Chain A
Amino acid sequence: MKQIKFIITWITIMSLSFIQGINCSQTGFNSMDFSSHNEIVPGQNINPDLPFALLNFDQAFQSMLNLTDQTQNIKTSQLNEFLLRESSLSAGNNLNMFNGPWLIATTSLAGEVCNGIIPVANSTNSNRIFSLVNFNGGLSELSDSSYYGTLDRMALAFWSRTSSNSEKVLFKDFRNEFVSNLSSTQMTQAAQTRNLFLATCSAFLSSFDSMTY
């Protein structure tokens, strides 16, 4: 229970940190005089300064699946999580629709999507993103190069860029905090290796960079 609370707390903190660092503003999306739909949807009078738009609920889920190459084999648990969370996700593309419930919903959904690609112990690790990690071993065996190499792969796959130094520091601190809460026995357990990457993957996939286009 403590582990789960810790994971959720850290994912939330990391996601908020990414958002603070992006200096996001509102995106252009006003067609006041020509079209009828801005009459219906409130809050669409926003400045056209940034080329970003928020993914709406359907786009967000499909994006997560597309980024993790799971569009052809959606799991029931993933679909159920989406159905549970979709009302908290954005109904449109306005950045104004970003809020607390949205953040929690995307994080939970990302967790379930990541759960579908992170290998379990004693299974074949054929995923291109996580191939550097030995999921049969504990965190005591996880090298820095494997960890940061996997982070680089996630950044490239999910964000189409490399992670910045500040982001690397954030993940380093997260890993240290995660490990500091484990006993020596837990450090040898394969399940903890999976938990670490599940949390990391969820943070990547639910971040601002993954949820805008």
Chain B
Amino acid sequence: MEIKRWTILGLVFFIFSFSLQSMSQLETNSQAKWMLERLTGVRWPGNGPVLLQMSDLLSKGKKSEAIQLALAQPQFLNITVKQLALKMSSREENLRTEFNDFSATFMGITRDNLDSRELLTGNYFYMADPSKLPNIPSNLIRDILTSNNHYKALDNKSIDIGSILIKVNGQSVMNSNSTAVANPDPAGVLTSRAFMSAHAFAGTNRRPVEFAIREFACLPIEKWADTSASENRIGRDIDRFPGGDHGKYKTSCKGCHSVMDGFRGAFAKWDFPSTFAVHSGVNGTQGARAQADAKGVMTKLNKNETVYSGGYIVTNDSWINNANRGINSNNFGWRGFSSINSNNRGPASASMNDEVTGYGVNSFGALIANSSRFSQCMAKRVFDSVCIKSMSLGEQIQIMTLLGQDFERNNYNIKKLFESVITHSACH
């Protein structure tokens, strides 16, 4: 009787332990599935080898290796990273955007573990290796600089884009003699055809400033408008008495334009008049020069000069940072730009915190890339991409600050950022 009792007890204990182990395995399987699917953006077969391998790694406590396995799947680059970049590359900010050079460069920088600040400063771009895909149109002038033929052709579900991208050193622009020449002011994706076509087309070149900050600092214009900032750079085309009311200008218009017009000079020599970006500093006899004045400033920056003749006249590609006081004193976490800007033509500053002026898009891009806001924004974008959940403002600030700092410690490596985010407790 006693033996029978102990046998039953032993059996119950065994079944209980087995159940616990099974539940634990269930949790591991579930965690592996969740991580794999969120990182790659697709569903995976429940009994497939990748999922089983990930589950096995997790059960052995090898979380980092499990995540690396997920990041090695082609869908990570071809879906998750590609979609993240596509949303940033157009004015509409949606996924139904044609694949383009902006997104390809973003994917390439991620794949190659490069410092992602080069998204705003790099003098290179990514394209498909023509030796691997000879049927894809790959002429630099015809298919990359003056059209999106190359990238549009790559947008094919049969092509593993992430595996065939190559880095091409040295960005190019078209000169007016229809020749591709070295870009005198390369700034990563800010001088990509996709970005320029979306934001430097028509207008007054204020939109590139707005969207550079919107996409890479995650701040829409109303968040950095500052009516207390200096108005010394606001252009002549901005009415100081809209509807006869100066107060409206002071309390509304001035807020956005003081910052935006301060930075706008960075794009003074750029335009996208028809199908390709032009820079007035490029040698040529017609075309690009025709759109610029004698100082090389595109005429559209100084148009409508009779609205307020006392306004600022853009005479070169200098910019000034008017987003560093009032509400913006804590918004951006500026840290200067010369440490990562190779194209700076301004005087060296005693301290990086004093670097409030620069020339050209490269230094403007470097300023944003070197800010703490850039790191937090990238963390936020990755978080939204894989975690797909909301948080309170306080939680956001706390978590993105920490993730941003982690991102910087990992040399601005985007893959590492994905790893940090997917393992963060707030993501689950």
Contact = CB atoms under 8 A, between A and B. Distances in A.
A159 B43 CA distance: 9
B33 A160 contact: yes
Nearest to A34: B396
Given A33-B393, A36-B219, A62-B41, A53 B388 contact: yes
B37 interface: yes
B42 interface: yes
Interface residues of B, number: 44
Interface string B32-61: 011001100111111110010000000000
A33 B223 CA distance: 9
Contact of A74 (B38, B94, B157): B157
B300 interface: no
A27 B388 contact: yes
A62 B218 contact: no
Interface stretch (A63-71, A139-147, A172-180, A195-203): A63-71
A59 B388 CA distance: 14
- Which among B37, B93, B389, B391 has the greatest number of chain A C-beta atoms within 10 A? B389
A66 B43 contact: yes
Given A39-B220, A67-B45, A157-B45, A62 B157 contact: yes
B381 A35 contact: yes
B357 interface: no
B87 interface: yes
Interface string A7-45: 000000000000000000001111111111101110000
B45 A31 contact: no
Given A29-B390, A67-B43, A213-B38, A62 B94 contact: no
B183 interface: no
Nearest to A45: B390
Nearest to B396: A34
B95 interface: yes
Contacts of A40: 92-94
A29 B388 contact: yes
A72 to B, nearest CB: 9
Contacts of A37: 87, 93, 384
B161 to A, nearest CB: 12
A43 to B, nearest CB: 13
B400 interface: yes
A159 B41 contact: no
Nearest to B381: A35
A178 B46 CA distance: 29
A56 B79 CA distance: 10
Contacts of A30: 390
Interface in B71-93: 75, 78-79, 83, 87, 92-93
15 contacts: A32-B393, A34-B376, A34-B397, A36-B214, A37-B93, A37-B384, A41-B93, A55-B43, A58-B83, A66-B45, A67-B44, A157-B46, A161-B46, A213-B41, A213-B42
